[in-house]
Structure 1
Amino acid sequence: MKIFDLIESAFSAILFLAGIGVSLYSVFMRYVMGSSQSWATEIFTMLLVWAIFIGFSSALKEDKHIAIDIIYDRAGPTFQKVSQAVTLLIGIAFSVFIIWSGYDMVMTAYAQQIKTIDLGFPIWINYLIMPIAGILLLIRFIEKAYRFFIKKEDVTHGEDILWKQ
């Protein structure tokens, strides 16, 4: 999983930096050189969307998603265990939904040969991030489920304190 983490983080960072680079180039060309680059918006958007969607998986790994802990922290260990189990199952179901609906989007765009306006780039390639992100999330949720159900860890806080009680 460490190699997977490294590859995931590297791709996200490279795509993000490339998107920022394209954006800066576009701003420079528009305001300094007086030449608008319409294609830059398409590339910038695609690169940032890809970086963000890959980043969802990294955020899940590091527990950086938005969470409401006020009830969870005040609840007893039984509620916390049940809450974590339900969250993991919903997360796995959501990941499968993202994979399925993303696959459907890719196949529809591919069949219709839809292309972007400025570059004429096949839109199905842009949509490919949906099933990829779903797979990445599914891997993370399965990893967390393994740690929770098999290793008996508190996957919300990365500790095994709940199961010791």
Structure 2
Amino acid sequence: MKALTLIENTISGILFVFGIGISLYSVFTRYVLGQSQSWATEIYTMMLVWAIFIGFSTALRENKHISIDILYDKAGPALKKFCQMITLLVGIGFSLFIAWTGMEMVLTAYDQGIKTIDVGVPVWINYLIMPITGVLLFIRFCEKAYRFFIKKETEISEVDY
């Protein structure tokens, strides 16, 4: 899991930095040099989307997703445990759904041979982030489920969820 964390952080960080760099380059050339770089929009959009989608897994790992705690905080231990189980099961199901439908999108785009307008990158490469994100989320939800169901409750802290 440490290797996956390193890979996620590195790839997401690199994509984000290069995406922002290309965006700044595009703004500079458009407004200072008076030359529009149409290719830049496609490239930085793809890089930022990939960085953000990989960030979904990072947010899950670090418990940074939006949650509504008002009722959960007032619930008893049994209801909290039940809610955690439901959340894990729904999360695993959702991640499998994202991976499956994302792969269908990739295969459809691949079969159609569609390419982006300015750069000519096959669209299926852009769509590839969907099944990758689904798999990353699946791994993270399974990790959380392992901690919840296998580890002793004394080893589990509220921070884990």
Q: What TM bracket, shorter-length normalisation?
A: over 0.9
Contact 1:84-1:155 within 8 A present in 2 as well: no
Question: Contact (CA 8 Å) 1:38, 1:118: kept in 2 or not?
Answer: yes
State the partner residue of 1:121: 121
Q: Deviations for 1:115-151, whole angstroms, at most 9, x for unmatched residues? A: 1011111000000000000000000000000000001
Unaligned ranges ≥5, structure 2: none
Tell me how far 1:50 sits from its aligned partner: 0.2
> Paired residues, what number?
159
Partner of 1:24: 24
Q: 1:75 to 1:20 in 2, by over 3 A?
A: same
Q: Indicate conservation of the 8 Å contact 1:63/1:156, yes or no.
A: no
Partner of 1:45: 45
**Runs of 4 or more above 6 Å deviation:** none
Code of the residue aligned with 1:158 in structure 2: it is: D
Q: Could you tell me how far 1:7 is from its partner in structure 2?
A: 1.1
Amino acid at match of 1:50: W
Cα RMSD over matched residues? 1.2
Which residue does the alignment assign to 1:86? Answer: 86
Percent of aligned pairs with the same amino acid? 68
Distance 1:156 1:138 in 2: 21
Greater mean alpha carbon deviation, residues 60-69 or residues 2-11: 2-11
Deviation per CA, 1:20-50: give whole Å up to 9, x if none.
0000000000011100000111001100000
- In the TM superposition, residue 2 of structure 1 has moved relative to its aligned partner by 1.1
**Alpha-carbon distance in structure 1 between the residues aligned to 2:129 and 2:37:** 25
Which aligned pairs between 1:49-68 and structure 2 lie closer than 5 A?
A: 49-68=49-68
Give SS of 2:118's match. coil
**Alignment partner of 2:48: what SS?**
helix
Q: Quick check: 2:144–2:160 contact (8 Å CA) kept in 1?
A: no
Q: CA deviation at 1:156?
A: 5.0
